[in-house]
Structure 1
Amino acid sequence: MKPAAIKHLVETQSLPRLLAAEQALLRGASPGFPISGDSAGEQLTHVLAAGFILGYMQKNEASFAAASRVFFQRVRESIS
């Protein structure tokens, strides 16, 4: 997971496009726009993270930094 790739997606894609890309990647299809990552799994991770962060930003009127902290805290909790 590369935070810079996630930030790029948040800055350049809308939530509906991220959700469509998620579905495309799950089907093994092209997401419709470039997503950095060494594998489809890493690309999916970036899309899921960007979707969460962008959704959180919109719902809570939060900054990217605040939404990112929430996301990465959840990741840390899930793997500990």
Structure 2
Amino acid sequence: MAPPGPVRSAEPDGAIGTRIKEARKAAGFTQQSMAAEVQVSRQTVIAMESGDYAPSVHLAIKVARALGTTVEALWGP
């Protein structure tokens, strides 16, 4: 069983979080409006952007669709 708490991103340099943040800004979303769009808290968006949270596949798809991109473009190598 996995320990409770956030799941950290696999990329320690923050590249994934940077891609998410840049895509969010390019799409015209604030952290709050992005959170509302994908039905999570603003803290979840902050955690994704800081690399402190790796979302479920379902949430990753919702985020990518809301940003007009693909999961691979945001979380891929």
Q: Same fold (TM over 0.5)?
A: no
**Greater relative contact order (Cα 8 A, min sep 6): structure 1 or 2?**
2
Higher helix fraction (1 or 2)? 1
Give the structure-2-normalised TM-score: 0.30
Give the structure-1-normalised TM-score: 0.30
Larger C-alpha radius of gyration, 1 or 2?
Answer: 1
